[in-house]
Amino acid sequence: MASQEEFRDPFERINAETAKKLIEDGGLVVVDVRELAEWMQGHISGALHIPLGTLMNRPRELLQQDGIIFVCAEGIRSAVACEVAAAIGKTQLYNLEGGTKAWLKEGYPLAR
């Protein structure tokens, strides 16, 4: 029988409040994996824009460092991005659960 440990995600699921604290502490990169039209409507200030499809095609080239918070609209595409990053050996990975929708719900600003 498999243990719980074998089924753990290779990333940490965080809420908007935790994400904001981590971003303010510095040292982490925020990567927004939404499509361009979504990005243009507003994104977390300082985030890099790498659409999920692009990231999946060239992860080693595009993800140079460890310590990444992945963001999308709701936290689904960003979870896939976390899996891709983990698959190429990246560590200290975070998924913003609820994505930019959760970020806005907390009253945090988006850059345009």
Domain contains 90: yes
The answer as to whether 80 is a domain residue is: yes
Give the 3-state secondary structure percentages of the chain, helix then strand then coil, rounded to 5. 40, 15, 40
Residue 60 lies in a domain: yes
The domain tally of the chain equals 1
Task: Give me the pLDDT at residue 8, please.
Answer: 82
By the 8 A CB rule, do 81 and 67 touch?
no
Assigned domain for 16 exists: yes
Whether 1 maps to a domain, the answer reads no
110 within domain boundaries: no
- Extract the tokens encoding 5: 């440990």
pLDDT for residue 61: 97
Per-residue confidence of the chain (112 residues) as pLDDT tens digits?
554 455 688 999 999 999 999 999 999 999 999 999 999 999 999 999 999 999 999 999 999 999 999 999 999 999 999 999 999 999 999 999 999 999 999 999 999 9
Domain that holds residue 29: 9-105
Is position 2 within any domain? no
What pLDDT sits at residue 6? 58
Residue 13: predicted pLDDT: 97
CATH number reported for the structural domain that contains residue 22 in this entry: 3.40.250.10
Residue 3 domain-assigned (yes or no):
no
